[in-house]
Chains A and B, each alone.
Chain A
Amino acid sequence: MQNKVNIKINGKDYQVDAGITLLEACKQAGIKIPTLCYLKDVNELGACRVCVVEVKGARNLVASCVYPVSDNLEVWTNTERVIKSRKTTLELILSNHNQECTSCVRSGSCELQKLAYEYGCDGHKYEGEKQQFLEDVTDYLVRDNSKCILCRRCISTCEKRQAVAVIGANERGFKTNIGCTFNKSLNDVPCVNCGQCIVSCPTGALRERDNIDDVLKQVFDKEKFVVVAPAPSVRVALGEEFGMPIGTNVEGKMIAALRKIGFDRVFDVNFAADLTIMEEGTEFINRLTNGGVLPMITSCSPGWINYIEQYYPEFLPNLSTCKSPQQMYGATVKRYYAKKFNIPLDKLVVVSVMPCVAKKTELKRPYQSAADGYQDVDYSITTRELARMIKRMGIDFLNLADEKPDSILGEGSTAGLIFGATGGVMEAALRTVKEVVEKKPLEKIDFECVRGTQGIKRAVVEVNGVDVKVCVASGIANAKVIMEELKSGKADYHFIEIMCCPGGCVNGGGQPIQPASVQNSVDIRALRASAMYSADERAVLRKSHENPEIIQLYKEFYQEPNSHLAHECLHTHYIARKK
């Protein structure tokens, strides 16, 4: 058993684990302490001084997030002095803050706004000199330093979770600001566009580049035929934006809402994920049997592609040539669907809803235009943008009746659905590869060995008498570990799945943002993923190659996986880029 210590909080005795911080101890005791800069295991600096408490014998208030507990410690968390100090700290932060809450994208989910309200702050008590702020606007992210509180959660996330470290604190004192080396734009440094920094930010200083107006303009245009498809992960997170518990699957309402917004067709990226498995699975079997480059590494995550192109370009031949599901969906709409239903390409607009901000730059990549001169996908919006769009269109989301996507390109197997969780692509691929190669039905559909939110998973799966060594990594810090293994020649994997975001797309940079208090205490990734696995458990259609719409698509159009036409439409090239 772990050692315990006795402490007194607000006059009451508690027994808590030794070696933890006061903040954690108070949490164990059920006492809430506000924080701003604290992000568990990632950003523990004691810098913002919002979590201060009074400790007996200490002259000054202490930052509870970095103060270790010890036996017989006596603490007060809500004395007049504590409350006053926190309020002053908040008012000082506000004195240098661009307080435009009325239109701020984080209004309602902003941690600073919430605390300022709870502490009854006067936002204009200390009117001081305002800093001159830089704004960085890219195609995927906007940083507005006038709303930055210098908590450094973004910096730690970029450095520790993503091992990319392109943002940091520059200058000092009053001039301190978050930025990149030599004040360059994120466009000009080796950022992977993951948006994990956005999800870590307590305020509106970091946000996605908003494309709601662009998309609505197309929807309102009667001349245009606008189609949309949501990614697997969107349905297990969208509900959070409407107050539903984390891990609620709102697939049916989401489809209904997209129709109500006015899209002409509502498809599903789960279908495109099945298509990806057909192509990628076949590519893997070919590489394995014909002596192709191994290990083969998945290519669905554009953040990961941005990383390998800049940091490990020598391994580009290992990447599957498959486009991502978003791009396969767009290519298939523009080449197959447009022809089948006689839709002129200059009137056709393809929109995707993604848990991701890197998808906004993926769609502008070269070699992603199957219909000559037309991008496969025109706009990509995040789960957060979809939620705002639903609200703006006056749709009563919670009371919508479930609907189903349009056919064809609308039906997905749950193998496609689990793409959203780390290990999901691997499991979906294994289901198809094993069954196709062995030419007999799987005895067991579940590949538990690749499930779970651990950053790195390794397993051996027997396929037709051959031991296939697989590896699954999520989060760039973990991907880096695997790439170093490959570089040193120590690894002998056959197939590697890598997702840029820790936990996979369910935890993408475009997903609903939960406050640090929630991020610190529940495993959001696991809850969202479990909504996928429980849908998979209940489903009948659990293998990509059994999806009737997929079978029809190959019969009518692509003929067979990796055919000439499939290569032309569904595969791509990568570019070694200098850091």
Chain B
Amino acid sequence: MKENKGVCFTETPEQKVQMDAVLEQYGGDESNLLVVLQEAQKIYGYLPIEVQKKVADGMGVSMEKVYGVVTFYSFLRTDPVGKYNFSVCMGTVCYVKGAGLINEKLKEVLGIDDGQCTPDGLFAIAPTRCIGCCGLAPVMFVNDDVYGNITHNDVEDIVEIYRKRAKNL
């Protein structure tokens, strides 16, 4: 996994208070590491190196131990989620029908890798496993919006929809 160089981590005072409370409650016992990381993700939304360092120091374990756990569980993220999350289904049917190409095109258009978020915090790419609507294959989700029967040629237009939406916010 690459370190995200795009988004700078900042911590609000509330987040700090919440996190300190979590470490106060669970710190010192290594077996709580997963719980603490889940709580930390709830507080910060993701687990960048700064948060992992905090957890390591607070729990008295090494940085590598924390990183090993974070990369082991797919529900723990080292990159922030974007305002708009692009998930291309990578199930077999979608894949056969060109989901791979669509995802590649997404990466190219947004200039980021799987699991990453654009520096402005707007867009993220997170391919997903089969979600069962194979009749629409290939399928892409943008948050709760569904786009079915698309090809990689549609990607730029779809991204444009959300660029506009973001501007009008």
Contacts and interface: CB of A to CB of B under 8 A. Distances in A.
B is bound to A: yes
Contacts of B71: 170-172
Most buried by B among A167, A182, A189: A182
Contacts of A183: 1-3
B72 A181 contact: no
B1 A168 contact: no
B95 interface: no
Contacts of A338: none
A172 B72 contact: yes
Contacts of A189: 63-64
B22 interface: no
Interface of B: 1-3, 49, 52, 61-68, 71-74, 78
Interface in A66-102: none
28 contacts: A159-B62, A165-B61, A165-B62, A165-B64, A165-B65, A166-B63, A167-B64, A168-B62, A168-B64, A168-B68, A169-B72, A170-B67, A170-B68, A170-B71, A170-B72, A171-B1, A171-B71, A172-B73, A172-B74, A180-B64, A181-B49, A181-B62, A181-B64, A182-B63, A182-B67, A182-B78, A183-B3, A189-B63
A166 B65 CA distance: 8
Contacts of B63: 166, 181-182, 189
A286 B1 CA distance: 54
Given A168-B67, A170-B72, A189-B64, 13 more contacts: A159-B62, A165-B64, A165-B65, A168-B62, A168-B65, A169-B72, A170-B68, A171-B72, A179-B64, A180-B67, A181-B49, A181-B64, A182-B49
A166 B73 CA distance: 20
B61 A181 contact: no
Contacts of B74: 172
Residue among B52, B67, B68 with the most chain A CB within 10 A? B68
A168 B3 CA distance: 17
A310 B99 CA distance: 48
B52 A181 contact: yes
Contacts of B78: 182
Interface of A: 159, 164-172, 179-183, 189
Across chains A and B, which 7 residue pairs bring their CB atoms closest together, nearest first? A165-B62, A181-B63, A168-B68, A181-B67, A168-B64, A181-B64, A170-B71
Contacts of B61: 165
A165 B56 CA distance: 12
A179 B67 CA distance: 10
A130 to B, nearest CB: 19
A166 B64 contact: yes
Which of B62, B65, B73 has the largest number of chain A CB atoms within 10 A?
Answer: B62
Contacts of A166: 62-64
A164 B62 CA distance: 8
A189 B65 CA distance: 13
A189 B78 CA distance: 19
Contacts of B67: 168, 170, 180-182
Nearest to A177: B71
Nearest to A179: B64
A564 B47 CA distance: 54
A314 to B, nearest CB: 17
Contact of A169 (B62, B66, B68): B68
B120 to A, nearest CB: 23
Contacts of A180: 64, 67
Contacts of A181: 49, 52, 62-64, 66-67
B113 to A, nearest CB: 14
Contacts of A169: 68, 72
A287 B28 CA distance: 38
Q: From B66, B67, B78, name the one whose CB has the most chain A CB atoms within 10 angstroms.
A: B67
Nearest to B57: A579
Nearest to A170: B71
Chain B CB within 10 Å, residue with most, of A167, A168, A171: A168
A181 B69 CA distance: 10
Contacts of A170: 1, 67-68, 71-72
A312 to B, nearest CB: 15
Contacts of A172: 71-74
A181 B66 CA distance: 8
A33 B65 CA distance: 32
A182 B2 CA distance: 7
Contacts of A164: 62
A170 B64 CA distance: 8
B71 to A, nearest CB: 5
Nearest to B2: A183
Nearest to B68: A168
A267 to B, nearest CB: 40
